Amino acid sequence: MAGFLRRRSRQTWHRRLRAEWTKFRTVRGWVVAMTLAAGAIVGLGLLSGQQGSCGRQGPGSECVLPVGPEGQRVVDAFTFVHKGLDGDGTLTARVTSLTGDLPPASDGGPPRPGPAPWAKAGLIVKDGTRAGSTYAAVMVTGDHGVRMQHDYVHDRVGRPGAVTASSPVWLRLTRAGPTVTGEVSTDGVRWTTVATVELPTLPATARAGLFVTSPQYAEAVSGLVGAGAMSAPTEATATFDHVQVTGAPAGPDWTDDALGRPRGPAAGSLGPVGVERTGSEATGGVVFSITGSGDIAPAGAGAAGMGATITQTLVGTFAGLIIVVVVGTGFVTAEYRRGLIRTTLAASPHRGAVLAAKAVVAFAVTYLTGLVAAAITVVFGPRVLRANGVYVHPADLATQVRVVTGTAALLAVAAVLAVAVGVLLRRAAGAITIAVVGIVLPYLLAVTVLPAAAAQWLLRVTPAAAFALQQSAVEYPQVANVYLPVDGYFPLPPWAGLAVLVAWTVLALAAAAVRLHRRDV
């Protein structure tokens, strides 16, 4: 008996699904609209007007970023005064100043006093001068105290405080096999360890020396559409004295190099980057004054970085989302308008099941449509951008799959939310507006008018959090940038973002089920 009932209820459920699917596919407007939604996503993704200069100025202008030892694309540009270090050894120096300018404010005026918060000056041991090679460095920074960094993405915090003539900072870097230790001191006598790191691929003979660099400075500016960001290169100059190398210095003298300096027009207004030496061994040691520009860090997108991410190819999601919401709402409100809902509920008196069947059909149709559209966009969009000379940060397969399935899930859950709001309101215009405004407006406000803290909050708690599924860039605290969602940076991890939208949708569905149950049609 129980088995019979279960089989019967399964058949009823299949019939309900079939009925809802038939309703959907036989309304020409909805089929056309879903095609339009897919077309909007693909079209806006592929017909991007974005133009870049990569590869446009002849050979050598192709944008190729070095790859770090852990696989990330990196920036490896700094002024390097170095000599060979054969086997184990220790490098010591005192930094007595770190100065530089910030670019003028966006509304004009003179350059502002710096140095850039992430200007870096210190000691480094590195596998040669090849861009992207393994390294470890201990350094003073413009505004983030003493740090020990290695292999581009790792950052350890040391003593806070800036460098001045009255409070110089002693730095010491010791190599013992694959282990590199960074230490800091105020007097050159008592030392504190900042960090000890392992560089497994550092060869026996490495280059070691002094380095100075200063990254692209980015800040948010408000425009007509809303906040954007501007950025400009910066330069820093540091003074080193009491430079000592113990261990096995293989080379007799220091070599000066400006590694990874942009060539051609990209070099812009950078002044001469160089190294000055004053004093000599006889007068109590050489004093190095080193000027550098660039960064030793993971490469990013956005204002302080370069190029686009695959997130940008999916901008059509906004247009697609609105169409999907119109269809999802209409799937319910059209029945109320035509009175078909009475027939539906007479044929299938279990109202909760009718709602579930509608939600399942809306989800499935939208998911498949979104999946196809997003897959086409993510596969071909970056090719179009690259053909236009725009650098597109490569995303690994797992990220691409997550962005594509995530976009489909975002659209599909939004369609279910639209179904639920449609049941709650029964009127198309109001329901569509609530669903669209609930998902899109927080995002719009977050990227336009609101200050960063409020914007991050909105992107965490409102349904707009689900856009985090399209995240394709990694945010590093040790890289100064204006991290905007348009560039692929979101405050929540992808699946947490989806969970927020799902929570709102479940809430709306529950309210819709209660409403449908309690109220006459």
Distances, alpha carbon 5 to alpha carbons 8, 9, 10, 12, 18, in Å: 5, 6, 8, 10, 20
Contact 291, 469 (CB under 8 A): no
- Residue 55 touches other proteins, criterion: CB under 8 A: no
The only residue of 89, 122, 316, 463 in contact with other proteins, by rule CB under 8 A:
316
Contact 175, 248 (CB under 8 A): no
Q: How far is the C-alpha of 12 from the C-alpha of 170, rounded, in Å?
A: 78
Give the residue with the Cβ less far from other proteins, 267 or 429.
Answer: 429
- Residue 389 touches other proteins, criterion: CB under 8 A: no
- Residue 433 touches other proteins, criterion: CB under 8 A: yes
- Residue 185 touches other proteins, criterion: CB under 8 A: no
Categorise residue 284: left if φ over 0, alpha if ψ from -120 to 50, beta otherwise. Answer: left
Spell out the residues 6+ positions from residue 260 whose beta carbon is closer than 8 angstroms to its own: 66, 75, 76, 77, 78, 131, 294
Residues 216-275 interacting with other proteins (rule: CB under 8 A): 220-226
Contact 277, 114 (CB under 8 A): no
C-beta of 334: minimal distance to other proteins in Å? 8
C-beta of 78: minimal distance to other proteins in Å? 27
Number of residues lying near other proteins (CB under 8 A)? 56
From residue 479 to residue 498, the character string flagging contacts with other proteins as x (rule: CB under 8 A) and all else as - is: -------x------------
User: N- to C-terminal Cα distance for the chain?
Assistant: 34
The alpha carbon dihedral of 27, 32, 36, 38 has a sign of: positive
The only residue of 65, 140, 325, 413 in contact with other proteins, by rule CB under 8 A:
325
State the DSSP H helix or E strand holding residue 15, giving kind and residue range, or none if neither.
helix 2-26
- Residue 337 touches other proteins, criterion: CB under 8 A: yes
C-beta of 33: minimal distance to other proteins in Å? 8
State the DSSP H helix or E strand holding residue 358, giving kind and residue range, or none if neither.
helix 351-387
- Residue 50 touches other proteins, criterion: CB under 8 A: yes
The only residue of 97, 106, 186, 289 in contact with other proteins, by rule CB under 8 A:
106
- Residue 44 touches other proteins, criterion: CB under 8 A: yes
The only residue of 46, 286, 315, 353 in contact with other proteins, by rule CB under 8 A:
315
The only residue of 444, 461, 474, 502 in contact with other proteins, by rule CB under 8 A:
444
C-beta of 221: minimal distance to other proteins in Å? 6
Residue recorded with tokens 């201990």 = 138
Q: How far is the C-alpha of 127 from the C-alpha of 496, rounded, in Å?
A: 40
Contact 208, 82 (CB under 8 A): yes
Q: Which stretch binds other proteins (CB under 8 A): 41-49, 86-94, 271-279, 500-508?
A: 41-49
C-beta of 409: minimal distance to other proteins in Å? 19
Spell out the residues 6+ positions from residue 510 whose beta carbon is closer than 8 angstroms to its own: none
The only residue of 34, 390, 412, 516 in contact with other proteins, by rule CB under 8 A:
390
Q: How far is the C-alpha of 402 from the C-alpha of 406, rounded, in Å?
A: 5
The only residue of 75, 137, 195, 326 in contact with other proteins, by rule CB under 8 A:
326
Judged by the rule CB under 8 A, the positions of this chain that interact with other proteins are 29, 44, 48-52, 105-107, 220-226, 308, 312, 315-316, 318-319, 321-323, 325-326, 329-330, 333-334, 337, 390, 427-430, 432-433, 436-437, 440-441, 443-445, 447-451, 453-454, 457, 486
